[in-house]
Amino acid sequence: MSDVTPEAGGRTSRRGMLFGAAAVSAGALLTACTSNEPKNSAGSAPAASGAQAADDKPGTPVTIGFAGPQADHGWLNAINENAKERASRYSEVTLEITEGSNDTAAQIGQIQTLINKKVDVLVVLPADGKALTQVGLQAMKAGIPVVNLDRVFASPQAYRCWIGGDNYGMGLNAGRYIGEQLKDKPDAKVVELAGLDNLELTKQRSQGFDDALKNYPNITKVARQAAEFTVESGQAKMAQLLQAQKQFDALWNHDDDQGVGALRAIEQAGRDDFLMVGGAGARSAMDAIKSGRGVLKATVLYPPTMAASAIDLARALGQKKGVGGLAEMEIPSSITLYSAVVTKDNVDDYLPTGFN
């Protein structure tokens, strides 16, 4: 999402965790949002007088507490793996990682344990941003800066920095891509396979998609079905869409995990008369795009690499340094990632970020 407001509804179930708040390329993300560029490297902006940016060289030891999600979805598992892999790159970083939970009370307890251990910095992807705001405030009051990952706390006082995806931009770029593919087709029809409708992120993705289509008066959205971010729901809801809509030109599916099921339904129905755009950036989706076979032609990223960047930001905070490539002495208070569209033309650039 482009603004960093808390999600409505406060859902704490497994599926409510999915995508709380996709993406820049790996290279652009690391340049703009992390601390990996050596200070004074070629092409970097000169640091302001007195500013010092974090770099790859070992620095002051930092213990980072990481409270992530339960890894019961491809994207959520990738969040945890990105955080662990990034921390392992730095010899001076110790990562204290919790078991991961979608239960609000359990996650609060895990974070309080990290606070009691006196970690230097906390990175938190909350099960419910609103419900965990108080524990974020507790950490900040204890002098432990918090990097709030994706699902935002209800108060900016509960975190030092927020980093997350752009749900509105995700829908916007999906709509733009489909619009450009169909702009010369009279009376084009599109359908949408959304995620959970009680999540604010789903509303934002749909709104962005609808706003993009306003620029293409020849295109009409003729149907929308909400699924549940699972393979099973994707297959069932896509089968219903296919049964109800005998002809359409494009499909936007909000989530590549449920897209696996959607593709099964499409194959079973023997349909290949439309193009499909996915969402999030799963490796399976990228492989399908690269093959050029089937209806899936693009996916709009919501990058789990944000967890790696959160570790970089936490390391910089712990070492009291700024971000490489920026002149400011402090890291930004918020970073919204870009929702890149991956197609056959650029899929090789993004394959390393694809998650299982």
Place of tokens 């995620």: 195
Question: What's the confidence (pLDDT) of residue 199?
Answer: 85
Better-scored residue on pLDDT, 13 or 287: 287
| Residue 135's pLDDT band (cuts 50, 70, 90) | very high
Say whether 167-301 and 62-165+304-321 share the same fold: yes
> Rg of the chain over CA atoms, in angstroms?
21
What confidence tens digit (pLDDT) does each residue in 296-318 have? 999 999 999 999 999 999 999 99
What's this model's pTM, rounded to 2 decimal places?
A: 0.81
How many whole angstroms separate alpha carbon 65 and alpha carbon 324? 22
Handedness of CA 51, 57, 62, 63 (dihedral sign): positive
Average of per-residue pLDDT values in the chain: 86
C-alpha–C-alpha distance, residues 82 and 309, integer Å: 9
pLDDT for position 302: 95
For the record, the structure tokens of 330 come out as 């402090």
pLDDT digits (tens, 9 = 90+) for 83-110: 999 999 999 999 999 988 888 999 999 9
Q: Which residues neighbour 104 within 8 Å (Cβ) at sequence distance 6 or greater? A: 12, 127, 128, 131, 132
Q: Which residue has the higher pLDDT, 71 or 78?
A: 78
**What's the pLDDT score for residue 281?**
95
Which residues touch 184 (CB under 8 Å, ≥6 apart)?
none
The length of the chain, given as a count of residues: 356
Q: pLDDT, tens digit, for every residue of 186-223?
A: 999 999 999 999 888 899 999 999 999 999 999 999 99
Band of the pLDDT at 30, cuts 50, 70, 90? Answer: very low
Look up residue 82 and give its two tokens: 């990105």
Question: Which of 3.40.366.10, 3.40.50.2300, 3.90.930.12, 3.50.40.10 is the CATH number of 62-165+304-321?
Answer: 3.40.50.2300
Fold of 167-301: Rossmann fold (3.40.50)
Angle between helices 26-33 and 306-318 (to 10 degrees): 20
pLDDT tens digits, one per residue of 227-271: 999 999 999 999 999 999 999 999 999 999 999 999 999 999 999
Domain-by-domain residue ranges, the chain? 62-165+304-321, 167-301
pLDDT tens digits, one per residue of 272-290: 999 999 999 999 999 999 9
